Amino acid sequence: MTAIPTCREVLTFLGDYCAGELDPMRTSAFERHLQLCVSCRNYLDSYRRTIVLEREAFADPDLPDPPEELVEAILAIRRPG
């Protein structure tokens, strides 16, 4: 059985844990730590919400029309002369 990791280990490898990239033994050791440690549970929750907030901050479904002068400048690049 893998030893329960410290807070330092949990927070250092939290990105891998969230990405599902820890092996099963390590994942279960992480989860044993999380069951016992309210501070790391809070941290994990806020870490995940940070990622959601990032995505929402840049959610931008509508793309405006391109600036005409830029389109013309780009098209001029390939014209001879």
Partner 1 sequence: MRAPRPQPYLYLILTTPGRTGPRAPLPARRHRRTPAPLQPLPPAPATAAAEPEADLLARLRAGDEAAFRDFVREQTPALLRVTRRLLRSEDEARDAVQDAFVAAFRGLPRFRGDSRLGTWIYRIAINAALAKLRARAGADEVSLDEWLPRFVDDGHATEPSAAWPADAETGAEQAEVRARVRASIDRLPDTHRTVILLRDIEELSTDEAAEALGITPGAVKVRLHRARQALRTLLDPWMRGEQG
Site string for partner 1, 1-40 (x = CB under 8 A): -----xxxx-xx-xxx---------------------xxx
Our finding on whether 78 is near partner 1 (CB under 8 A) is: yes
**Residue 1: strand, helix, or coil:** coil
> DSSP for 24-60?
HHHHHHHHHHHHH-HHHHHHHHHHHHHHHHHHHHH--
Q: For residues 16 and 31, which CB has a smaller minimum distance to partner 1 in the complex?
A: 16
DSSP string covering 5-31: PPHHHHHHTHHHHHTT-S-HHHHHHHH
Number of residues that bind partner 1 (CB under 8 A): 42
Given the rule CB under 8 A, which residues bind partner 1? 6-9, 11-12, 14-16, 38-40, 42-43, 45-47, 49-51, 53-58, 60, 63-67, 70-71, 73-79, 81
